[in-house]
Amino acid sequence: MTNVAHDVRVIKCIGTSYDTYANFPTVQDALDYMRRMDFVNDSWYIVNADGVRLRLNSQNKLEVFNSLIG
């Protein structure tokens, strides 16, 4: 049996701070889920298994970003 790691995290603004919202095995799984949830783009981001932060840009493409604010 294969043990799938859920190392990709979706971080969402909950109240006044950012916190882990959900975990997924791949970035694509996380992105598909977040697109279905239709959150405002600046209220969430994805952290991949290597710790890189990703968010959707205005063209609806994933981009790397370094700031926790905006």
- pLDDT bucket at 3, cuts 50 / 70 / 90: low
Domain containing 26: what range? 8-58
Domain-located, residue 69: no
Percent over 70 (pLDDT), the chain? 83
Does residue 3 lie within any of the structural domains? no
Residue 28 region, left (φ>0) first, then alpha (ψ -120 to 50), else beta? alpha
Within-domain flag for 54: yes
Rg of the chain (C-alpha set): 12
The answer to the question of residue 67 being in a domain is no
pLDDT of residue 41: 64
pLDDT of residue 44: 86
Residue 60 gets the label, from left (phi > 0), alpha (psi -120 to 50) or beta, of left
For 30-52, what is each residue's pLDDT tens digit? 988 888 887 666 688 899 999 99
Is 2 part of a structural domain of the chain? Answer: no
Question: Which of the two residues, 67 and 19, has the higher pLDDT score?
Answer: 19
Q: Is residue 47 part of a domain?
A: yes
Q: Is residue 27 part of a domain?
A: yes
pTM of the model: 0.78
User: How many structural domains does the chain have?
Assistant: 1
